[in-house]
Amino acid sequence: MHGRRLATTDEIIAIASPDSDEPLERLRNWADERDVGFAAVGVGDDVGDVYEESRATLGVTIGGDGTFLEGIKTFAPRNIPILGVNAGTLAFLARVEIENLEAALDEVLRGRATVDSRQQVRVETSGLRATGINDVMIQHVPPENPFERKVTRLEVFADGEYVGEFEGSGLAVSTPTGSTGISLSAEGPLHYPVNNHTLQIVPLHTHRMGVRPMVVAPTTDLEIVTRGTASVLVDGGRAHNVLSAGTVIEVTGAERRAHVVRTSYDDPYFTAITDKLGWGARDVDDPGPRELLDGQPTIGERDPTIVERARDIAIEAARSAGEPLRELHGQIEGVEYKTDKSDIVTEADHQADRIIKTVVENEFPDHSIFSEESAYVDGDSAYEWVIDPLDGTGNFAHGNPNYSISIALLCDGVPVMGVVHVPETGEMFHAIADEEEAYEGETRIETTDRDALDESMLLSGYDPDGSFLAHYYAEARGVRRLGSAALNLCYLASGSADAVWEYDTYPWDVAAGVVIARTAGATITDETGDTYTLEFDADGRKGLLASNGPLHPAMLVHLEREDAGLADLADD
């Protein structure tokens, strides 16, 4: 989950430990002042009566790590991000101190927090099915008679391959989040938990010197067979059972990950382990910026221009808006009725538009915003954002992945920056008009240099009577229609096509794509050959012809013939 998405938070649900009345009241007041919904429940209570799936919800825990783990158990299955406020003593997960409560939440609501993706572990065995964010502990059950055997044997298989026998007091399968204490006790490594999606098998009090912790992928299917009575505990006993000999325990990474919100007010991870565990790799809390080897301070990066900063913000906004689009797109194929599909598409448009506009308004409050899906925002600046939160609505409604998010910035009516994001593929096209390079991600893109029509691949937008297809299909190597004008222009820019024809366009469809394609080397005109410009109040057709440049004369000649043929038909 992208942190910018949190800027549209509608509601906060708090899980508070006992004796948290004072910070809970502060949280309630903060929410009331910002017109954010608020509800509070006790540790272990159900949130079903206060949670509404349609609202953008933030989970907050007030307490120690135990309360935070309860929050994960409650919020992670609902895909709700969670912020932990530390009202306890020892805390690695809840790292916002109470005195910073309001400031941290303000940062979240401005969309400036980050969200860590935390791997969870899933276990299934006799009488137990559970998910945890820390670990699954499989241990020997202490005998009633102190003279009886005090060890257990566990046979371990990974994806069907025999790993070996673990003999000792048991073993743990831990996530990076839960690896710290367990791994240290077995002389294993610390795992930095941020966006670290692995599992670690840790022997407990092993009787063999050569048995050491091992790391596996989260998709690994582990089978652990007990050779004696054993207990299974998930996240310190939040789920548990006692198993008889010969029981198979199935453990793997959970598909649903937990979303942990981090702010600048958090105690950093390595500071936390230094303070709480005596981590020996550093003897200062924070050395400040890294210094060069000659002792001179590093040279800071230059401050970005307003257009460069706008591009970075647009990329973040597009990535955040792409998340709910992917989630809702995944629901389309399972919907039977057209009206229900229409509801999903409307919700997708609304969510994406709201995220993008909120991010832009937070960062550039004086800019104007023109969006296809919402009311115009009239700012005091020369800069105006042009947004299409879902270009390719028809594709989206039919479960087709060819849809995109288009975000452009204009200065005095001239496009100066463009970002186009393809949520289903992760492609992120972007460019700044006065630079000479356009990019997909960090890779530079440019148009082709073909000048022969019979060697070229063409893309067509709306073609009402099929005339473009009829005139060009036999002449070119092929004509394709993707259903998204923004995508057409980006694929021209990246060399996947040689020319694009759009019978009519709206500015929100093409504003970003025009910047990206032109910066990559494209020539873009109307159907007469005049330079293409954005017109927000134009009536009727606004054609767009875009090509790699060398192919443009041939494309114009064919368009003129097509127009002449249509005129003759009209006269007849």
Annotation: binding site for NAD(+): 65-66, 134-135, 150
Token pair, residue 244, equals: 């008889």
- Asked whether 272 and 286 are in contact (CB, 8 A), the reply is no
| Phi, psi (deg, nearest 5) at residue 220 | -65, 130
For 25, the token pair is 């009241």
CA torsion 43-48-50-53 (nearest 10°) is 130
- Cα 184 from Cα 182, distance rounded (Å): 6
Q: What does the alpha-carbon distance between residue 202 and residue 187 come to, in Å, rounded to a whole number? A: 10
Work out the burial of residue 226: count CB atoms within 10 Å of its CB; fewer than 13 is exposed, 13-18 middle, 19 or more buried: buried
- Spatial neighbors of 149 by CB under 8 A, at least 6 apart, are 143, 228
Q: Give the phi and the psi of residue 205 in degrees, each rounded to 5.
A: 50, 50
The distance from CA 344 to its chain's CA centroid, rounded to whole angstroms, is 20
**What residue numbers does the annotated binding site cover?**
65-66, 134-135, 150, 372, 388, 390-391, 509
Active-site residue identified among 65, 235, 349, 353: 65
Active site residue 21: no
Binding residue numbers for Mg(2+)? 372, 388, 390-391, 509
Closest CA relative to residue 156, chosen from 176, 175, 141, 136: 136
In 423-520, where do the E strands start and end?
Answer: 427-432, 438-440, 443-445, 457-460, 478-480, 499-502
Active site amino acids: 65
